[in-house]
Amino acid sequence: MTTRRITTLFEMKQFTAEVRSRAKSLALVPTMGALHEGHLSLVRQAKAQCDVIVVSIFVNPTQFGPAEDFARYPRDLENDFDLLESLTVHAVLAPSSTEIYPAGFSTFVDPGPIGTVFEGAVRPGHFRGVATVVLKLLNIVRPDMAFFGQKDFQQVVVIHRLIQDLNLPVRMVVCPIVREADGLAKSSRNLYLSIEDRKAASLLSLSLKRAEEMAQGGEGETQKLLEEIHKTVDVEPRLQLDYAAIVDPASFEPVPQVLPGSVALLAGRLGTARLIDNLIFGPPGSTPELKLQLALTAHAADKGIGATPRADVDNLRLSIENCRDCAAVSSISLPAREFLAKYLKRDYPDLQSTRVLVIGGCAPIDPDGSPYCRPETPNPFATKLYDLLGVRNSGEFKARFALTDAARCHAIGNRVDERTLEYCAKHLRQELKLFPNLQSIVILGEYAYLQFQRHILGRERARIKPFGELLKSQGWAQETVRLPSHTERDVRIFYCYHPTFESKKTPSIAPYLE
């Protein structure tokens, strides 16, 4: 496959139209070039999630201040192109400045208050330029998904807001920071560093690492963590901090106590180079992806339960405004209708012939644990589910059943709140409509039960029998209902224990599903 080199918007639009006509999904990875492993990690993530990948390379003049490094920003288009070709990227969009900003251009996006603090305060107008060019690129390429790096955390939040506030039909995926061996975040601007500077620069990430260790050791006061950051950086007088702060990622307000999802932001100067870095605090052992979820998708008030957040990390819950396979990476903005059309139909091979829908609380939350995982990974959830339904493997399962999860990844830990269930029920109600010939629904576990009773059948909380009581006598229960999505005939509902519920097992209900 050869990589297409596109320089005009006209050609780009043609390319997108071609991709659309073949019903392929399209990813955009916007960059300013001088590519390194950080950029390439976004490309790899995009390849894992989309059919066709476009990488844009455009050093955007409107995001640089008059005294900044626009003119000398590193540019190496030929090398970038070779790298992207070796990754079999489908197209590289490298337009000229006049193609993006033709004479008479005068409309800009104002990203609001978040665009005016920290990086926005040091670089006035920077985020106005970023938001404007990203909106333009999204409109030009019209991707299904766009990929950004956590490295530029404030930029991520600005773009996340842009997508939500302007109802852009794109799903945003944020990828963790790729670092050098000594911890320095990879950046095109690292090319400005002398060998000596390069050593000093690693103090930025070292200071974040120390703050993280202190937080995990039990220090929750941000003042103490910031003192440690300053102490570490001050060892090198040439490294001057522009700011160091620990903020709530939704408001960018400094916080007195660290919560899971709080973010430490750092910016410093070393000679002529300006470097930024950040750290998301999370429960010990949490993956970079989980930390991103905590920072970008949880509501501030939901991040900790109880007075001491660290003590309650197991109960940590997320309520995400958008949807489902966000467990894979992070934030999403996609209206439900597009979501259903693009992602759901791919999961369920034959919507017409599906007679039985299985709804399980958080069922496919772990991509490796889902029966839809390709290639399939044996796992306890699937094995017990197959026993319950009387099938031997995922092939048999997929031929007869469709699986969806009730709470999706809007919740983790062992509590799912009412608001989360209601939010996810919106999608569940639409999903039900996708299966016109549904005869039965198997409900796995208490959360799916509560969601179904409250938000699909619309029953009053006081009228809902406690789950344990309902299942007490035979380990499962059954009722026949008329669903709002299926008004022509009755649908049989089976309530069972969740397959991962250790202490109770539902006997096989296979004979009733014939």
Interacting residues with ligand AMP between 360 and 389 (CB under 6 A): none
C-alpha closest to that of 384 among 467, 500, 513, 474: 500
* Closer Cβ to ligand AMP, 83 or 456, answer by number: 83
Could you say which of 3, 16, 31, 394 contacts ligand AMP (CB under 6 A)?
31
Encoding tokens for residue 85? 């070709």
- Minimum Å distance from CB 36 to ligand AMP? 7
Task: Report, in Å, the least distance between residue 370 CB and ligand AMP.
Answer: 27
Q: Which lies closer to ligand AMP via its Cβ, residue 128 or residue 151? A: 151
Phi, psi of 401 (to 5 degrees): -125, 155
Give the pairing type, strands 91-93 and 145-149: unpaired
Q: Verify whether residue 39 is a known catalytic residue.
A: yes
User: Which residue's structure tokens are 């070709």?
Assistant: 85
Residue with tokens 């017409």: 352
Question: For residues 173 and 145, is the Cβ–Cβ distance under 8 A?
Answer: yes
Structure tokens given for 367 = 């991509």
Tokens at 228, concatenated = 């440690």
Contact status: 175 vs ligand AMP (CB under 6 A)? yes
Supply the minimum distance, in Å, between the C-beta of residue 149 and ligand AMP: 2
Q: Does residue 152 bind ligand AMP (CB under 6 A)?
A: yes
DSSP string, 18-71: HHHHTT--EEEEEE-SS--HHHHHHHHHHHHH-SEEEEEE---GGGS-TTSSTT
- Residues 353, 400: Cα–Cα separation, whole Å: 8
- Residue 480 structure tokens: 């026949």
For ligand AMP, the closer CB: 185 or 344: 185
Q: Which stretch binds ligand AMP (CB under 6 A): 116-124, 179-187, 212-220, 398-406?
A: 179-187
Half-sphere exposure of 251 (CA within 13 A, CB side): 7
Q: Does 177 bind ligand AMP (CB under 6 A)?
A: yes
Region binding ligand AMP by CB under 6 A among candidate stretches 136-144, 183-191, 206-214, 477-485 = 183-191
Comparison of 135 and 344: residue with beta carbon closer to ligand AMP:
135
Q: Which residue in 45, 154, 188, 333 binds ligand AMP (CB under 6 A)?
A: 188
Nearer to ligand AMP, 297 or 370 (CB): 297
Closer residue to ligand AMP in complex, CB, 157/403: 157
Does position 190 bind ligand AMP by CB under 6 A? no
Interface pick for ligand AMP out of 19, 26, 28, 32 (rule CB under 6 A) = 32
User: Quick one: 148 or 452, whose CB is closer to ligand AMP?
Assistant: 148
Site membership for ligand AMP, residue 274 (CB under 6 A): no
For position 160 contacting ligand AMP by CB under 6 A, the verdict is: no
The CB-of-198 to ligand AMP minimum distance in angstroms stands at 15
6 binds ligand AMP (CB under 6 A): no
| Torsions phi, psi for 403 (to 5 deg) | -115, 135
Q: Which stretch binds ligand AMP (CB under 6 A): 184-192, 270-278, 323-331, 496-504?
A: 184-192
Q: Treating both helix axes as pointing N-terminal to C-terminal, what angle do 9-21 and 126-141 enclose, rounded to 10 degrees?
A: 50
Binders of ligand AMP among residues 33 to 92 (CB under 6 A) are 38-39, 41-42
Buried b (16+ CB within 10 A) or exposed e, 13-23: eebbeebeeee
Question: Measured from the CB atom, is 130 or 214 closer to ligand AMP?
Answer: 130
* Residue 186 Cα distances to 68, 178, 179, 266, 276, angstroms: 20, 6, 5, 15, 10
The CA-atom distances, in angstroms, between 327 and each of 21, 181, 246, 331 are 29, 28, 25, 9
Q: Work out which of 185, 245, 409, 448 binds ligand AMP, going by CB under 6 A.
A: 185
The residues of the shown chain that bind ligand AMP, judged by CB under 6 A, are 31-32, 38-39, 41-42, 148-149, 151-152, 175, 177-178, 185-188
Residues designated as active site: 39
